[in-house]
Amino acid sequence: MSSITPELVEQHQITPEEYSRVLTLLGREPSLTELGIFSVMWSEHCSYKSSRMHLKRLPTRGARVLQGPGENAGVVDLGHGLACVFKVESHNHPSFVEPFQGAATGVGGILRDIFTMGARPVAIMDSLRFGPIVEDHTPSLPGGVPVKITQNRRILRGVVGGVGHYGNCFGVPNVGGETVFEACYQDNPLVNAFALGLARKDELFFAKAEGVGNPVIYVGAKTGRDGIHGASLLASAQFSGADGQQKRPNVQVGDPFLEKLLLEACLEAMHSGRVLGIQDMGAAGLTCSTCEMGGRGGVGVEIEMDLVPQRETGMTAYEIMLSESQERMLLVAERGHEQEVIGIFKKWGLDAVEIGTVIPEPVMRVKEGGKVVAEIPNTALTDEAPVYDRPWAPRSRLEPLDPPPAVKAQLDQARSGEDLAQDLVRLLAAPNISSKRWITEQYDSMVRTNTITGPGGDAGVIRIKETGQGLAMALDGNGRYCYLDPKRGARLAVAEASRNVSATGAEPIGGTNCLNFGNPEKPSILWQFSEVIDGITEACEALSIPITGGNVSFYNETEGRAIYPTPVIGVVGLLEKAEAHATAPFRPIGNNAGRSIIVLGGVLTTDESFAVSFGSSQYAQTIIGALWGLPPYVEMAYEQRVQACCRHLIAEGLVESAHDLSDGGLAVALAECALSSGVGASVKFNQADDARRLLFGEDASRILLSATKESRARIDHIVSQYNIRADEIGVTGGDALVVSQQGNKLFSVSLESLRSAYEDIFPATIEEVRV
């Protein structure tokens, strides 16, 4: 009698074809526990079955790369015997279902990925995307779904609370990231968390079992029924209807205090020299750690369910193997020294139990009360997992290339200086641009006393106490750009993350990506994915940034509405001397002459039609309320030279401030440099172009610098070496932003009024009580 019915197979999200493959690989019918194990390991989230063949195209090699994709996190060499371990990962669906815990455990998961490798986490960042939190030009979503301001604010508050709670308690500084609002994320927010750790190069650990007969030790929190099927049902399926409530039990619950103890105990145990391999239990819990550690070591792992520390009674092998309870690790120790290892965990008040051994047969063997309940070849779960070359097809444009007629009429009319000033104020107050202090002040950004530049800078910058070096890191994505043109958008995301790092003076040395997309079974979505991979590849190759790891998040759809394709790129850069870094604020000038304001790369960096590229800008979103055209084209070779030149100027100490130009263009960047220091600026444009283009256009490859008059000659000399343009556009000073074009004054706005727009509107919005 068969206990595995087709219905049961379907409930496990295994297709009939996949099930026949299970039968072939096992040579028999699976037990229920085995079926569960296959369902999580072959889920999109764990197997990367739709993305794997595309991901192979990413550049992953580089002189500094010590570990590329395939481990818990990527590793790059910092010199001086130090290595830097980092990765970004998504926790999108759990954060929609249960914002606080979903976001908290997202942070917890990425932190474990870092310290599993023997590195102490020293910085985190978060990239967050939500539906609109203010009424704007988007009254409803496609299909007539109303914009849910209250819901979106609730999710934002919960997510920020969760990210803060976990990081603050664990004791790792949050040094940056981004928060974006767009209608497409309303019922599918994105929560991507990045973590970075430091380790001695010769003390890195890998998730590999070795040495037949060695003990397999379970450490950390007890196993409960939380998070069962998190990887398959939450992370690898789209939402519909009442899923938000029904799937709540699939979300794990985090305890950062326990994770802090686990960190200290793991690092101490690793230092003892008695730990041979270690992997955290993240997605697919005990199942994933057992078969992957065996697989990587070319051996097998046998474990006994009765020995697994359990939080609840009566748990079946199925539940134990699939639980995603947080703060757990599996490690292989040296036989004869297991008590030494276990003793270290006991000292930190943690469970540490030998639950199995390394065996010669390359299988995962699970016993319950001495009886085998699952025995699966490692390769069946990893290398033999299905890989799909899914069909893809270019998506027909949903948005026009040229501005819609009403917009065109608007753009054809010149805008008065007064209107432009108001536009700037409105942009600064828009949630996508305004100060996110309300969010970032809820995060500990300074613990470990290394933070040189925290949230709000172009990139987070920390020092390394041991070597005097500095590390800069940035997370960037732009769903609007990628929606209009996935490849261009992806190139821009890489260019901007890298530019943010270069604007601090640091040289980019490695990257990580979190690829958030809709349902890959739809050809148009898979096309977006493939285009984005190509775009990332082109940009990373041009900028010499190897991708060392990351994560793919598909099925970001609710009721069939997909999010914009949203690759989030993390770039890490190295400063040989931490002191030699730049920051964005203009410097106070006292009674001295104002500093020269220079746009490195040039005020305009593309010859493409303004009417087409303006449609993807923040101005188009906030002021015009429309979306059209193409994102700005980025010429990668030019971008590379601009960034290299910027780093050179900073290394020589020639600039007093440096700030990347991105969302909102030059006017917003000027305001940000001025507001962060209280030093105003006076700017003159010689160009005859539309003032909207000069002020709010989002051309790539531009960095805003300020420098003393005395440095000008040397700067010009260096700029010419890099064969790039640098336009001097004005001087710092005063307490207003004054702009003129071709001798005519456009506007003068006091910093005070810019400040109140930039600082006050966002907190007031989010704290507003709505009945």
Partner 1 sequence: MKFGVVVFPGSNCDHDAFHAVQDALGQQAAYLWHQSTDLERSDAIILPGGFSYGDYLRTGAIAHFAPIMESVKKFAARGGLVLGICNGFQILLESGMLKGAMLRNRNLKFICRPVHLRVENVDTPFTNALHPGQVLSIPINHGEGNYYVDNETLETLQRRREIVFRYCDANGGLSDRTNPNGSLHHIASICNRGGNVMGMMPHPERACDALLGSTDGRAIFQSAINAISGTYSKPKVAEAVAPQR
756 scored as a contact of partner 1 (CB under 8 A): no
Specify the stretch interacting with partner 1 by CB under 8 A; choose among 198-206, 216-224, 252-260, 540-548: 252-260
Q: How many helices (H) and strands (E) does the chain have?
A: 28, 28
Could you tell me the smallest distance in angstroms from the CB atom of residue 192 to partner 1?
A: 21
CB nearer to partner 1: pick between 123 and 749: 123
349 scored as a contact of partner 1 (CB under 8 A): yes
Among the listed residues 113, 444, 496, 699, the single contact to partner 1 using CB under 8 A: 444
Catalytic, out of 12, 45, 165, 229: 45
Of 450-489, which residues contact partner 1 (CB under 8 A)? 450-452, 463, 465
Could you tell me the smallest distance in angstroms from the CB atom of residue 254 to partner 1?
A: 11
Tally the C-alpha atoms within 13 A of residue 435's C-alpha that lie toward its C-beta: 19
260 scored as a contact of partner 1 (CB under 8 A): yes
CB nearer to partner 1: pick between 137 and 755: 755
CB atoms within 10 A of CB 404: 15
Query: With helix as H, strand as E and coil as C, how does 188-219 read?
Result: CCEEEEEEEEEEEHHHCCCCCCCCCCCEEEEE
Say how far apart CA 735 and CA 678 lie, in whole Å. 7
Catalytic, out of 91, 165, 229, 659: 91
Could you tell me the smallest distance in angstroms from the CB atom of residue 414 to partner 1?
A: 42
Query: The tokens of 768 are what?
Result: 């507003």
Asked if 45 is an active-site residue, the reply is yes
* Cα 352 versus chain centre, distance: 32
Could you tell me the smallest distance in angstroms from the CB atom of residue 350 to partner 1?
A: 10
Of 71-100, which residues contact partner 1 (CB under 8 A)? none
214 scored as a contact of partner 1 (CB under 8 A): no
CB nearer to partner 1: pick between 97 and 575: 575
CB nearer to partner 1: pick between 59 and 164: 164
Query: The tokens of 23 are what?
Result: 């039968």
Say how far apart CA 401 and CA 385 lie, in whole Å. 41
User: Is residue 433 within 8 Å of 618, Cβ to Cβ?
Assistant: yes
Query: The tokens of 654 are what?
Result: 């020639």
Query: How many residues does the structure list for the chain?
Result: 771
Q: Look-up: residue for tokens 């369910």? A: 305
Q: Look-up: residue for tokens 């297709």? A: 15
Could you tell me the smallest distance in angstroms from the CB atom of residue 448 to partner 1?
A: 6
Query: Starting at the edge strand that comes first in sequence, how are the strands of the sheet with 460-463 ordered?
Result: 451-453, 460-463, 470-476, 566-575, 507-516, 547-553
Could you tell me the smallest distance in angstroms from the CB atom of residue 767 to partner 1?
A: 8
- Going by C-alpha positions, the residue among 348, 327, 308, 404 that lies closest to residue 108 is 327
Asked if 93 is an active-site residue, the reply is no
- Going by C-alpha positions, the residue among 569, 519, 551, 535 that lies closest to residue 392 is 519
371 scored as a contact of partner 1 (CB under 8 A): no
253 scored as a contact of partner 1 (CB under 8 A): no
CB nearer to partner 1: pick between 141 and 578: 578
Specify the stretch interacting with partner 1 by CB under 8 A; choose among 225-233, 256-264, 481-489, 490-498: 256-264
Specify the stretch interacting with partner 1 by CB under 8 A; choose among 160-168, 191-199, 227-235, 557-565: 160-168
Among the listed residues 169, 253, 644, 718, the single contact to partner 1 using CB under 8 A: 169
SS3 assignment, position 328: strand
Residues that bind partner 1 (rule: CB under 8 A) add up to a total of 30
Could you tell me the smallest distance in angstroms from the CB atom of residue 663 to partner 1?
A: 24
445 scored as a contact of partner 1 (CB under 8 A): yes
CB nearer to partner 1: pick between 119 and 320: 119
Q: Are strands 190-200 and 82-90 parallel, antiparallel or unpaired?
A: antiparallel
CB nearer to partner 1: pick between 56 and 577: 577
Could you tell me the smallest distance in angstroms from the CB atom of residue 103 to partner 1?
A: 14
Quickly list DSSP for 221-286. Answer: SPB-STTTTIIIIITTS-B-TTHHHHTGGGS----HHHHHHHHHHHHHHHHTT-EEEEEE--TTHH
Say how far apart CA 509 and CA 280 lie, in whole Å. 26
CB nearer to partner 1: pick between 261 and 344: 261
CB atoms within 10 A of CB 168: 17
Among the listed residues 181, 443, 633, 747, the single contact to partner 1 using CB under 8 A: 443
Footprint of partner 1 (CB under 8 A):
164-165, 168-171, 255-258, 260-261, 348-349, 441-452, 463, 465, 578-579
**Active-site residue list:** 45, 91
